Amino acid sequence: MAEVGSNVPPFECFSTSGKIFRFPSDLSMPLAVLVVYRKNQCTPCKAQLEFLREKFEEFNAKRVQLLTISYPPLEESLDVVKELNLPFPILSDPEGKILTLLGAINGEQLQSGGKIHSGLVYPTILILNGVGKVLYKLVTKKTASRDEMGQIFRFIEEIQNTGTGKLSYL
């Protein structure tokens, strides 16, 4: 499980960019924010993606690569990228292996893409360095809102200013 101070193990998955995303070799900036969301059609998830879209240039200005990942199959995520005009990729993990690796799964069941998965996704934000080390991890059990999104730049600035990270649960 990805915890602060540990490196996320290497993984590969399909991306809406049209390429296979290889972690950590495809990290392209000094910091990366990896946002885990539950599914493409939940209202708070879409609001979260729209927030990230609106802040995309701010992430770039801070030299922070923005990535999102969720259960839905790639085809569904491609529709969401088009619908919301997202300038960043959605990584597809329909089997939940990467989400489990990230520690973003609880013990309940979820049906997505015609499959039943053993675990619902906790909305999770990971801030990583350029080689995949977890500097900050925020896990929220609140699925109806994304209050933590307003704090994301404070977390980035804290890391850029102090070089330290921590784990938070909301």
The token pair at 19 is 């390429």
pLDDT digits (tens, 9 = 90+) for 127-158: 999 999 998 888 877 666 555 666 788 888 88
The token pair at 48 is 């979260």
**Domain limits, the chain:** 11-169
- How far is residue 118's CA from residue 121's CA, in Å, rounded to a whole number? 10
The token pair at 94 is 């329909």
Which CATH superfamily, name and number, covers 11-169? Glutaredoxin (3.40.30.10)
Confidence of residue 168 (pLDDT cuts 50, 70, 90): very low
Give yes or no for residue 169 having a pLDDT over 50.
no
Percentage of the chain exceeding pLDDT 90:
42
66-70, 72-76, 112-116, 133-137: least confidently modelled range: 112-116
CA distances to 32, 48, 70, 116 from 94, rounded to whole Å, are 22, 20, 7, 10
- How far is residue 83's CA from residue 77's CA, in Å, rounded to a whole number? 10
Give yes or no for residue 112 having a pLDDT over 60.
no
| E strand intervals along 71-162 | 90-92, 110-112, 115-117, 124-129, 134-139
DSSP 9-59: PPEEEEETTSSEEEETTT--SSEEEEEE-S-TT-HHHHHHHHHHHHTHHHH
CB 153 within 8 A of CB 22: no
